[in-house]
Amino acid sequence: MRCPNCNNSLDEGAVFCGICGTPVSPSVQGATVIENSGSYAETEARPMPGSVPYGQQSMPMQQQQPTMQSPQYNNAPPAQQTSYGGPYSPPPMTSASPYTPPVIPQAPTPGGRANGSLRAIFIAASLVLLVVIVGGGIFVFMSRGGNNPQAGGVPTGTSATFSFKDDAQGKVNGITVESTTLPAPPAGKEYQAWILNNDESFVALGPLKQNGKTFTADFPGKKGVTLLDKAIGAKITVEQPGQHSSPSPSSVLSASFPSGTPDKYFTHIKHLLFQFGTPHNLGLMVGLRDQATILNSQAGLLKNVNSQFAERCVLWSLIDIIEGTKSPNFVNLQNKGCASVGITQSGDGLGILGKSMGQAQDGYAGLAAAHASLAASQSDSTGNTKTHQPHVQAAIDDTIEWGTKVDQDAQALLNALGNHGKINELVQLAGQVLNGVTAAGQEAPRPIKGEAGVLTDYQHTLLMAAVDLTSK
C-alpha cells in the first residue's frame, strides 16, 4: 500500500501518510482523498514561491513557506514537501461526524513513519543541526580566511616572489623574497620566509623587512646549505621575532615545486641551475656561464702573445673550450708543451657547443636549450618559466651563432698566425658570447636575438626559476 500523493510505503490499514499527512482511507469521516496528478519529476519541477516570472499569475497557496535548500557540504536529504509545495494542513472537519485521529503504531515497521508530533520533532532537530553546521562553517571560514595573518589568512590576491640568485661562490644558493601586497603583520609579530625540503627539514631564509608597502628578505647563502638540492616548496609564516628552527604550521603564503621525475618542471630547472651530468656535476647554465667566461678570458690573450707557438696554444685552447674533448679538433695542451709558454687553460671537456657545434645535445648550449624547453612544457610549469624560456632560447641561439664564428676564426688563424684583423674579430665575438651586444639607446643587452649573450641567458634562467607564493 502506498500514499497516492508522495508514493511513500504505508502499513496496511493506515489512515494517513506519515510523511506528507495525506489521508489515504476514504472511510475516515469527513476526510478527502487527494489524488496525485503528476509524476515525481513533474512535482519537483514546479516553481517554488517567488519563482514565477513577472506578469504570470498564479493562485496563492495556503500557508506557503519558502523551502531552504541544504548546503552543498551537508549530505542530509532535501526537506520533504507536499505535492503543492507547502506544509501539510489537515483536511477540514465536517459537522456530521467528529474527527477521529489515526491510530499511531508504537513500533513502526521500516516501511512506516511516526506521527506528526515526531515528525515535528525531527524537523526541529534538523533545523537546529543546520544552524550548527552553517554557524560552524562560518566560524571555520572566518578563522582561516579574511585579513588576519595571525590566523593564516590574507586578502585575496596577496602574493610574494622567491627569486634565486648566486652566493659568493657563484652557485645558486641565495634567494631574494619580495612582496608588495602583504598586509602588516599582527603587533609583536613578523613574517619569516622558509624553504621546505624533501626530507621534511627547513631552511630559514630570515624575516621580511618592511619598507613602505614592500616586504623583502635577502638570503645570501649559507655555508653547507645547497638550496636547490632538496627544495620542494616555500612558505611565509607569521612568527615571534627571532630565529626559529622550523616554521609555525599555518602558512600565510606558500608554493610547492616537486622534482625528481621528468614530468615536473622543477626537475629541469635543477638541471639548468643546480646539477646535471657535466664534467664538474654543475647545472647546465652554470657550466655554460663558466665556460663562456673562460672563453672570453682566453681570447683576450691573443692580443698579448709574444710568439707564434703561444698564439697557437691559445687557439687550441679556444677550440677545446667550444667543441669539447670529443671533437676531432681537440688538442691536448699538455702533450703539446703549452705549459712552457704559460698556456694551460682548457675547457672542462663538454664544450660550449660540443662536437655538433650546438646542433645536437652534446654541448652546454644544446643541452641547456633542451631542458629549458622541457621545463616550460610540463603541466606544472609556472608563468615565470613559460615567460622567460623564449628569452633563454634567444640567448642560446646567439651563443651558437657567435660561438661558431669564434671557432671558425680560430681554425682559420691556425693557418694564418698573426692576422690581426681576424684576431680582433675573434676577440670581439668571444666577448659577445659572454656579454651580448648592447644596442644603441639601451643600457644593457635585451633578451632577444642579436643582443643576448650567456650572462643574459643565465639571468633569464634564474627568472624561469622564480617561484610565486600565493594564499591557499
Q: Please report whether residue 152 resides in a domain.
A: no
Mean pLDDT of all residues belonging to the chain: 79
Q: Smallest Cα–Cα separation from 66: which of 87, 47, 49?
A: 49
pLDDT surpasses 70 at 437: yes
Q: Smallest Cα–Cα separation from 245: which of 203, 189, 207, 217?
A: 203
At 3, the pLDDT band (50, 70, 90 cuts) reads: confident
Q: In terms of pTM, does the model score above 0.75?
A: no
Domain boundary among 234, 256, 278: 256
The cell numbers describing 162, all together, are 622567491
pLDDT surpasses 90 at 365: yes
pLDDT of residue 156: 87
Could you tell me if 99 and 179 lie in one domain?
Answer: no
Could you tell me if 322 and 405 lie in one domain?
Answer: yes
Could you tell me if 319 and 439 lie in one domain?
Answer: yes
Comparing 71 with 421, the larger pLDDT belongs to 421
Q: Which of 118-132, 244-258, 276-290 shows the lowest mean pLDDT across its residues?
A: 118-132
pLDDT surpasses 70 at 422: yes
Q: Please report whether residue 279 resides in a domain.
A: yes
Looking at residue 227, which CATH number applies to its domain? 2.60.40
Task: Please give the average per-residue pLDDT across 317-342, as a whole number.
Answer: 97
The cell numbers describing 227, all together, are 638550496
Q: Please report whether residue 119 resides in a domain.
A: no
Could you tell me if 96 and 201 lie in one domain?
Answer: no
Q: Which structural domain range is residue 334 located in?
A: 267-470
At 4, the pLDDT band (50, 70, 90 cuts) reads: confident
pLDDT surpasses 60 at 318: yes
pLDDT tens, position by position, 39-52: 323 333 333 333 33
What phi and psi, each to the nearest 5 degrees, are found at residue 471?
-75, 145
pLDDT of residue 122: 52
Task: Please give the average per-residue pLDDT across 288-317, as a whole number.
Answer: 97
Task: Please give the average per-residue pLDDT across 427-447, as a whole number.
Answer: 97
> Is there a contact between 323 and 348 (Cβ–Cβ < 8 Å)?
no
Could you tell me if 186 and 299 lie in one domain?
Answer: no
Could you tell me if 240 and 337 lie in one domain?
Answer: no
Torsion of Cα atoms, 137 then 142 then 146 then 149, to 10°: -130
pLDDT surpasses 90 at 398: yes
> Is there a contact between 143 and 151 (Cβ–Cβ < 8 Å)?
yes
pLDDT surpasses 90 at 456: yes
Q: Please report whether residue 100 resides in a domain.
A: yes
Could you tell me if 453 and 409 lie in one domain?
Answer: yes
Could you tell me if 198 and 310 lie in one domain?
Answer: no
pLDDT of residue 110: 40
In the β-sheet with 202-207, what is the strand arrangement from edge to edge? 202-207, 190-197, 231-239, 253-256, 467-470, 159-165, 174-179, 214-219, 209-211
> Is there a contact between 412 and 422 (Cβ–Cβ < 8 Å)?
yes
pLDDT surpasses 70 at 106: no
Which contacts (CB < 8 Å, 24+ apart) does range 203-210 have? 203/227, 203/231, 204/243, 204/244, 204/245, 205/175, 205/177, 207/239, 207/241, 208/177, 208/179, 208/182, 208/236, 210/184
The cell numbers describing 259, all together, are 622534482
Could you tell me if 249 and 279 lie in one domain?
Answer: no
Percent of the chain with pLDDT over 70: 68
pLDDT surpasses 70 at 131: no
Could you tell me if 85 and 20 lie in one domain?
Answer: yes
For residue 398, give the amino acid letter: D
At 79, the pLDDT band (50, 70, 90 cuts) reads: very low
pLDDT of residue 7: 74
CA separation for the pair 150, 252 (Å, rounded): 8
Could you tell me if 401 and 290 lie in one domain?
Answer: yes
Q: Please report whether residue 126 resides in a domain.
A: no
Could you tell me if 405 and 361 lie in one domain?
Answer: yes
pLDDT surpasses 70 at 23: no
pLDDT surpasses 80 at 107: no
Domain boundary among 256, 281, 310: 256
Comparing 340 with 133, the larger pLDDT belongs to 340
Q: Please report whether residue 228 resides in a domain.
A: yes
CA separation for the pair 442, 260 (Å, rounded): 40
Q: Please report whether residue 398 resides in a domain.
A: yes
pLDDT of residue 154: 82
Q: Please report whether residue 125 resides in a domain.
A: no
Comparing 71 with 416, the larger pLDDT belongs to 416
Q: How many domains does the chain have?
A: 3
Task: Please give the average per-residue pLDDT across 3-30, as a whole number.
Answer: 57
Domain boundary among 256, 281, 309: 256
Task: Please give the average per-residue pLDDT across 257-282, as a whole number.
Answer: 96
Burial of 179 (0-12, 13-18, 19+ CB in 10 A): buried
Task: Please give the average per-residue pLDDT across 367-396, as a whole number.
Answer: 98
Q: Which residues, listed in sequence order, are joined to residue 216 by a DSSP beta bridge?
A: 178, 209
pLDDT of residue 1: 66
pLDDT tens, position by position, 178-237: 999 999 999 999 999 999 999 999 999 999 999 999 999 999 999 889 999 999 999 999
